[in-house]
Amino acid sequence: MIAMAVANNPELLVADEPTTALDVTVQAQIMRMLRDLKEKLGLALILITHDLGVVAGHADRVAVIYAGLVVEEAEVRELFANPRHPYTRGLIDSIPKLTASNEKLYSIPGAPPMLGALPEGCAFHPRCGFAQDICRKAAPPVIELGRHRAACHFAESLPSWDGAGRTAQAEERGNG
């Protein structure tokens, strides 16, 4: 499939979940092949994946999508070091940590909405530990923070990111 995809020397290759259901060894081979093709053929690669490890290891720039909309976009290091959208923080919190011993694995509460019946205001508000009244009424604007963008009313004023647990702590405080 990859050979067919590059047979016509495309300028852009869209790889949708290219490593799903592969074991880690084959996954590494596929990602190495895609990287080599990208460099040799000079093509741009859009990688669509749920695997944040693949994102961290292979992406230059990341767009996080929730309910069909890009809710955050930034260079990969900036995104993981300083996420400015609560959904992105929840995704990063959900990554299993080798250092955690008996801690329950975090997951974002609730479930994604039906795309035909999105909640009013911010589509993420029923699941967001930082939601306030405005989030239930008005769709958030895209806030520009240099080359980093986030669609959240509080993208500039969220507590600074200190890694795992921040989102969970906000929920325990009852901010939702």
Check: CB of residue 86 under 8 Å from CB of residue 158: yes
Q: How far is CA 88 from CA 97, 113, 144, in A?
A: 16, 16, 16
Q: Nearest approach, Cβ of 139 to ligand SF4 (angstroms)?
A: 8
| DSSP-assigned states of every residue in 109-152 | SS-PPPTTSPPSSSTTGGG-TT--HHHHHSPPPEEEETTEEEE-
C-alpha to C-alpha distance for 165 and 169, rounded to whole angstroms: 6
Of 2 and 138, nearer to ligand SF4 (C-beta) is 138
Interface of this chain with ligand SF4, residues 64 to 103, rule: CB under 6 A = 85-86
Size of the site for ligand SF4 (CB under 6 A): 13
**Closest of 39, 28, 25, 76 to residue 55, by C-alpha:** 76
Of 64 and 128, nearer to ligand SF4 (C-beta) is 128
CB contact set of 105 (below 8 Å; sequence gap of 6+) = 94, 96
Tokens matching residue 77? 């290091």
Of 13 and 158, nearer to ligand SF4 (C-beta) is 158
Of 13 and 108, nearer to ligand SF4 (C-beta) is 108
Interface of this chain with ligand SF4, residues 104 to 163, rule: CB under 6 A = 122, 124-125, 128, 130-131, 135, 140, 152-154
Q: Nearest approach, Cβ of 55 to ligand SF4 (angstroms)?
A: 20
Of 31 and 74, nearer to ligand SF4 (C-beta) is 74
- Interface ranges with ligand SF4 (CB under 6 A): 85-86, 122, 124-125, 128, 130-131, 135, 140, 152-154
